[in-house]
Amino acid sequence: MARAKRPLAAKNTEEQRSLLTDINLGDLDEEVKLSGKAATAKILTRGTYSISVRNRRKYWYWQRGALRRFLFCVPVVFLLVLVVFYLPIYTDVQNRRSALPDWTYNTSRDIKDYVLPLEQTALIVPRDFCRAKTFVIIAVCSGLQNFVQRQTIRETWGNTTEFNYSKFSKLHGHLKGHYLERIPARLKLYEDHLKSAPVRVIFIVGRSKYESLLGNETLERLHNEAEHYNDIIQENFIDSYNNLTLKSVLALKHMSKDCSNSSAFFLKCDDDTFVNVPNLLHFLLGGTLPLYNDTLEYYDVLTAMVMSPENRLNATKGIMRGHQFCSARPVSNVTNKWYMPYYMYPKEAYPKYLSGAGYLMSMDVAQGLYKAALNTTLIYLEDIYITALCAEKARVKRQHHPLFSYTYPRHLCAFKGAITQHEVKDDSMMEAWQFVSNYSIKCDPPGRYFKQMRLRKHINC
């Protein structure tokens, strides 16, 4: 049976429908009733016009919506900027409203009220202090009750009769040729200082808040210690952590008034700091220290070039070195050891400063810092006060040195290769000393192909 052919009219109708899919046929009843090509052309013309109008309307609505979205987003973005950048500052300021127990809002912070620059304030001073020439004085800030810590230092790195520059070659002789030797001209310049007493270690303490409760036993013990070792300076202030600024400024007072004409350099450190005296002296005499595998992490790509003359110490004045911190912010947590109230320091960040674990200066800088301190309002964090606020007022340039470490090292060989190490407490001091003074132990340099991967990318600050 032959298959019936599809009517042509039906075929045309389907084609028209496919062409008019997006056309609103409800509005075109009359046109649909027409037939032929003329009707189709008319419908398409009306449909195209309708689509064009609708598209213009859609574009207008989109533009109006975009404007609304823009006007809505601008204040939202502004509020987000405020929240992200200004709310933490506002919150930080609000959180720093609590007062310090020892330094309340109404307590005088004029340093002259405590240092009394025109008076002799010390309760104990070593006999003939700074009468003879000394190359470097190391002032150890120690707690009044820290008798054990002071004795440990005397028996370890503070025994400068034994632990002096003569031990430098025993420490690093196996790496000779991998560091710069001292400068003969500096050796000649400081010849008189090196002859009499290259290094002198002193301890600075205050007095107890509870002297009446402690009785005379502690004072008697301190006086006996001072009499026997002749290395104690006791000043007339309450010895506490929050008064470390007073202790350091009083140390500068003694350096300025008693030692400025007889000593060349001054190093301040804590009684939990290990000082490698031979390394310190070699640096002051213009030499550099060899790289060790366990000190490599302290260096950056510039300071690691220990054979470069740029890393020598050539200056004799204006010297201030230590571990430098940058962009540090005041701590707002009142329970934190380094909490800083807003009334004491209202700014959002500290200037560059050196760690109080150990910093070095020439004697002219010590004089300038002391003079500046007499006109600088006190804050209780002594390293920020001395090496940032006073240094800026005295126009002293602070410089980072990689071998002034402010933390305890991960490896004992770091004690042999650094100048200072911090947080060396209790038995750790004796352990470090036994390792360093065992000159048969030779620490390894970094591998030949370390490729600077462990070096810091750029200078500390």
Annotate 307-336 with DSSP letters as a single string.
TSGGGS---SSS-EEE-EE-S---B--TTS
Q: pLDDT digit string (tens) for 307-330?
A: 999 999 999 999 999 999 999 999
- Residue 89: the pLDDT is 46
- Rounded CA separation 338/336 (Å): 5
- Residue 10: the pLDDT is 45
Residue 455 predicted with pLDDT over 90: no
Work out the average pLDDT over 19-47: 47
- Residue 142: the pLDDT is 98
Q: pLDDT digit string (tens) for 168-222?
A: 999 999 999 999 999 999 999 999 999 888 999 999 999 998 776 656 788 899 9
> H-type helices in 156-210, by residue range?
168-172, 184-189, 191-196
Domain positions in the chain are 53-95, 112-436
Residue 58 confidence class, pLDDT cut points 50, 70, 90 = low
Work out the average pLDDT over 401-405: 97
List the structure tokens of 200: 């002198």
Work out the average pLDDT over 45-57: 57
- Rounded CA separation 347/345 (Å): 6
Work out the average pLDDT over 392-398: 97
Q: pLDDT digit string (tens) for 65-119?
A: 666 666 667 666 767 765 555 544 444 445 899 999 889 999 999 999 999 999 9
- Helix (H) / strand (E) element for 130: namely none
Residue 460 confidence class, pLDDT cut points 50, 70, 90 = low
Work out the average pLDDT over 349-373: 98
Give the number of residues written for the chain: 461
- Residue 95: the pLDDT is 81
- Residue 49: the pLDDT is 52
Residue 26 confidence class, pLDDT cut points 50, 70, 90 = very low
Residue 11 predicted with pLDDT over 70: no
Q: pLDDT digit string (tens) for 222-238?
A: 999 999 999 999 999 99
Who wins on pLDDT, 99 or 58? 99
Who wins on pLDDT, 96 or 385? 385
Residue 452 confidence class, pLDDT cut points 50, 70, 90 = low
Name the region of 235 (left: φ>0; alpha: ψ -120 to 50; beta: rest): beta
Who wins on pLDDT, 197 or 283? 283
- Residue 221: the pLDDT is 94
Q: What is the per-residue burial (b if ≥16 Cβ within 10 Å, else e) of 342-368?
A: bebbeeeebbbbbbbbbbbbbbbbbbb
- Rounded CA separation 260/402 (Å): 27
- Rounded CA separation 37/80 (Å): 62
pTM given for the model: 0.79
Q: pLDDT digit string (tens) for 142-161?
A: 999 999 999 999 999 999 99
Helix axes 8-19, 36-81, angle to 10 degrees: 20
